[in-house]
């Protein structure tokens, strides 16, 4: 079989010498071409083991294989992870089955009744239960919740926001905030026209809301207006919901937004931009860099278990008759459309927080703790990468003249990401700075990017009305809304239980985990790279402590980019 680190041999005198496993050499570090053939052979062999697959047209590429058994041995869960994963999933499903039988008699008639399927998992989940109706908590989630990737500062009033006569007050307020630079928007147009699921003969519903928000001087982001659907040609302009509306109408509008955010978060931010992009980087690396290559050694700890968890997701979560088809409003095909649409937003800039936050106007929003922490973590990873690259590439020319590195970059952009050069990804690397930026993006995507989209699930989705996986009634067309209308719109008991089970399973603390930068394997035997890794670990430890201290002083802690909580690779 294949091995992460086969032995590189060479002949000296009449003996054969095996290169120590921790040796890192680029092609130009070997002017006598002692290892040229072995490098080529290793890469050729790996290309036959690590083949690109195809899951759906128009998506970025996965590893070949339709079940975990098809994967290369090196990519399989080891026993501890395998046991923990299977055991906790089995327990979740068993509880689901037992409760499903015992609680057949209970029914959900009031919003309170959702407490019957709630476990107060975390202090933050308990807060959500208490304060979920507050506008402040609704706005807060766009900055620091499960999906901080959507909100942006408005540059103009969105074209879809048609203000009918009689709305002059709102118009004035919006323009005032816009002038002051404190107007923000969360636009779910990605969901517009997505075909909703039909679950056991029952039609489900999807909307594509727009939320306008204002940033207060105290850092609070507050909703000003919600439009649940974009305007349609020939139809009257869609209803606008306001904080001053009857409480149930305003609440239902916010619930619709939360359900839309659940879809966009899970599919675009979590699955596509976290899991699937990490898999592209990992497959491309296995296919194009020999184990002797310093960049292979630098990146390999950030690929652990990614192929297996993603293969599982494709075969049970987003597959035909999978969890999405069973209980999520975008399941049964809509979810694949969303993923395909979201591919066109995979820009290089959006994967690099300094650029992404600048583009979204969030750089100076200090109450966006996600943004602050993402910038800081990006900086730490960037210094780590710069340290390593500086050891192995002494000039820009050393980068341009590394044929393996160039092939690797092209494999990611052109093949794995299916033509991402059109979205600003590099086809070749022309300088050390460009290489460092690209590597920082790779490591951040496999760690911080995924963590920030994964770790919020338990906190924000345990209370079903704050992130319903499906909606069973169409969006309201009048402001005459009762509590019964709201409850009838939310997931039914079975769907709510299923959401609870999977959110618990995915969001639970991972007993088998390696935190960012904490891998025990020594991939480099030289003192140089070891010192750079140690410096990285020290900076991470400092950030970890400072976040701990900051969070202790905050009303709501932000923990999803705390280095000790960020996994070293996408594993769940
Ligand atoms: C893979 O029933 C993953 O066997 C979780 O996916 C669970 C399984 C397999 C096993 C399922 C089974 C991990 C990685 C991922 C991702 C991103 C999307 C997450 C969406 C979660 C949706 C929760 C559904 C609530 C109803
Ligand atoms: Fe995940």
Q: pTM of this prediction?
A: 0.97
CA distance 228 to 255: 10
Q: Whose CA is nearest to atom 17 of ligand 1?
A: 271
Q: How far is the CA of 270 from the centre of ligand 2 (A)?
A: 6
Question: In the chain, what are the helix, strand and coil shares in percent, each to the nearest 5?
Answer: 55, 5, 40
Report the residue among 264, 506, 572 best suited for mutation to probe ligand 1: largest number of ligand atoms under 8 A from its CB. Answer: 506
Residue 206, judged by CB atoms within 10 A of its CB (0-12, 13-18, 19+), counts as buried
CA distance 557 to 206: 31
Residues within a 6 A CB radius of ligand 1: 89, 266, 270-271, 275, 309, 312-313, 316-317, 323, 327-328, 469, 498-499, 502-503, 506
CA distance 207 to 227: 10
Read off the tokens for 120.
Answer: 């107060």
Q: What is the ipTM of this complex?
A: 0.96
Task: Give pLDDT, residue 58.
Answer: 98
Q: Which residue has the tokens 């147009």?
A: 189
Residue 207, judged by CB atoms within 10 A of its CB (0-12, 13-18, 19+), counts as buried
Q: How far is the CA of 19 from the centre of ligand 1 (A)?
A: 42
**Tens of pLDDT, residues 224-260:** 999 999 999 999 899 999 999 999 999 999 999 999 9
Task: Give pLDDT, residue 99.
Answer: 81
Task: Give pLDDT, residue 175.
Answer: 98
Q: Whose CA is nearest to atom 12 of ligand 1?
A: 316
Task: Give pLDDT, residue 3.
Answer: 75
Closest to 540 measured CA to CA, from 571, 570, 561, 509: 561
Q: Where are the alpha helices (DSSP H) in 17-78?
A: 36-49
Closest listed ligand to the CA of 325: 1
The pLDDT-based confidence of 164 (bands split at 50, 70, 90) is: confident
Asked if 435 and 62 count as a contact pair (C-beta separation under 8 A), the reply is: no
**Tens of pLDDT, residues 38-83:** 999 999 999 999 999 999 999 999 999 999 999 999 999 999 999 9
**Tens of pLDDT, residues 513-551:** 999 999 999 999 999 999 999 999 999 999 999 999 999
Task: Give pLDDT, residue 181.
Answer: 98
The pLDDT-based confidence of 118 (bands split at 50, 70, 90) is: confident
Tell me the three state secondary structure of residue 52.
Answer: strand
How many angstroms separate the Cα of 172 from the Cα of each of 167, 221, 238? 9, 18, 19
The pLDDT-based confidence of 36 (bands split at 50, 70, 90) is: very high
Report the residue among 261, 320, 455, 502 best suited for mutation to probe ligand 1: largest number of ligand atoms under 8 A from its CB. Answer: 502
Rounded to the nearest angstrom, the gap between the alpha carbon of residue 158 and the centroid of all alpha carbons in its chain is 26
Ligand 1 atom with minimal separation from the 315 CA: 9
CB-based contacts of 416: which residues, under 8 Å, 6+ apart?
A: 52, 60, 61, 280, 281, 283, 284
Report the residue among 323, 328, 461 best suited for mutation to probe ligand 1: largest number of ligand atoms under 8 A from its CB. Answer: 323
Asked if 41 and 9 count as a contact pair (C-beta separation under 8 A), the reply is: no
Ligand 1 atom with minimal separation from the 267 CA: 18
Total number of residues shown for the chain: 572
CA distance 319 to 506: 17
Asked if 202 and 489 count as a contact pair (C-beta separation under 8 A), the reply is: no
Task: Give pLDDT, residue 120.
Answer: 72
**Tens of pLDDT, residues 183-233:** 999 999 999 999 999 999 999 999 999 999 999 999 999 999 999 999 999
The most distant pair of C-alpha atoms in the chain lies apart, rounded to whole Å, by: 93
Closest to 73 measured CA to CA, from 96, 53, 46: 46
Q: Which range (8-17, 281-290, 340-349, 414-423) has the least confidence?
A: 8-17
Q: Which range (15-19, 322-326, 396-400, 499-503) has the least confidence?
A: 15-19
Q: Whose CA is nearest to atom 2 of ligand 1?
A: 316
Q: Whose CA is nearest to atom 14 of ligand 1?
A: 313
* Proportion of the chain above pLDDT 90, given as a percent: 94
The pLDDT-based confidence of 2 (bands split at 50, 70, 90) is: low
CB-based contacts of 571: which residues, under 8 Å, 6+ apart?
A: 81, 304, 305, 306, 309, 510, 513
Mean pLDDT for the chain?
96
* Proportion of the chain above pLDDT 70, given as a percent: 99
Task: Give pLDDT, residue 100.
Answer: 77
């Amino acid at each position: 079989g294949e091995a992460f680190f086969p032995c590189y041999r060479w002949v000296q005198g009449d003996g054969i010498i095996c290169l120590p496993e921790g040796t890192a050499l680029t092609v130009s570090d070997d002017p006598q071409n002692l290892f040229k053939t072995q490098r080529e052979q290793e890469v050729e062999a790996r290309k036959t083991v690590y083949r690109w697959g195809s899951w759906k047209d128009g998506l970025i590429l996965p590893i070949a294989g339709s079940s975990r058994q098809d994967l290369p041995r090196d990519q399989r869960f080891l026993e501890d992870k395998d046991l923990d994963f299977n055991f906790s999933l089995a327990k979740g499903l068993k509880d689901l089955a037992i409760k499903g039988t015992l609680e057949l008699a209970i029914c959900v008639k009031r919003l309170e009744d959702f407490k019957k399927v709630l476990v107060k998992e975390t202090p933050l989940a308990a807060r959500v239960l208490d304060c979920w109706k507050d506008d402040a908590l609704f706005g807060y989630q766009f900055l620091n919740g499960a999906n901080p990737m959507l909100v942006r500062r408005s540059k103009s009033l969105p074209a879809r926001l048609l203000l009918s006569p009689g709305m002059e007050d709102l118009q004035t307020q919006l323009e005032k905030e816009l002038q002051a630079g404190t107007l923000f928007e969360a636009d779910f147009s990605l969901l517009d026209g997505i075909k909703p699921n039909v679950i056991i003969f029952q039609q489900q519903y999807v909307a594509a809301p727009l939320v306008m928000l204002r940033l207060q001087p105290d850092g609070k982001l507050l909703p000003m207006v919600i439009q649940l659907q974009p305007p349609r040609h020939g139809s009257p302009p869609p209803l606008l919901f306001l904080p001053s509306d009857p409480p149930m109408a305003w609440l239902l509008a916010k619930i619709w937004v939360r359900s839309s955010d659940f879809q966009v978060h899970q599919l675009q931010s979590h699955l596509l931009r976290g899991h699937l992009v990490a898999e592209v980087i990992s497959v491309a690396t296995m296919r194009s860099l020999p184990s002797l290559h310093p960049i292979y050694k630098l990146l390999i700890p950030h690929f652990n278990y990614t192929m297996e968890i993603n293969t599982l997701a494709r075969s049970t979560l987003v597959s035909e008759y999978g969890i999405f088809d069973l209980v999520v409003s975008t399941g049964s095909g809509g979810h694949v459309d969303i993923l395909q649409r979201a591919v066109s937003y995979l820009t290089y800039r959006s994967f690099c927080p300094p650029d992404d936050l600048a583009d979204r106007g969030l750089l100076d929003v200090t109450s966006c703790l996600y943004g602050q922490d993402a910038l800081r973590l990006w900086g730490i990873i960037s210094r780590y990468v710069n340290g390593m690259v500086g050891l192995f590439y002494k000039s820009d020319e050393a980068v341009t003249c590394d044929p393996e590195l160039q092939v690797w970059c092209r494999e990611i952009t052109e093949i794995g990401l299916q033509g991402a050069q059109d979205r600003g990804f590099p086809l070749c690397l022309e300088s050390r700075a460009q290489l460092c930026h690209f590597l920082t993006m790779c490591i951040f995507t496999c760690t911080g990017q995924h963590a920030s989209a994964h770790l919020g699930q338990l906190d924000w989705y345990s209370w079903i009305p704050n992130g319903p996986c499906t909606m069973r009634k169409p969006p309201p067309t009048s402001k005459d809304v009762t509590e019964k209308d709201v409850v009838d719109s939310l997931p039914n008991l079975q769907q709510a239980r299923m959401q609870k089970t999977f959110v618990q399973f995915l969001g639970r603390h991972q007993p088998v985990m390696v935190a960012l930068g904490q891998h025990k394997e020594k991939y480099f035997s030289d003192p140089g790279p070891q010192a750079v890794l140690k410096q990285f670990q020290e900076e991470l430890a400092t950030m970890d402590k400072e976040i701990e201290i900051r969070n202790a002083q905050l009303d709501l802690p932000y923990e999803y980019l705390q280095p000790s909580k960020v996994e070293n690779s996408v594993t769940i």
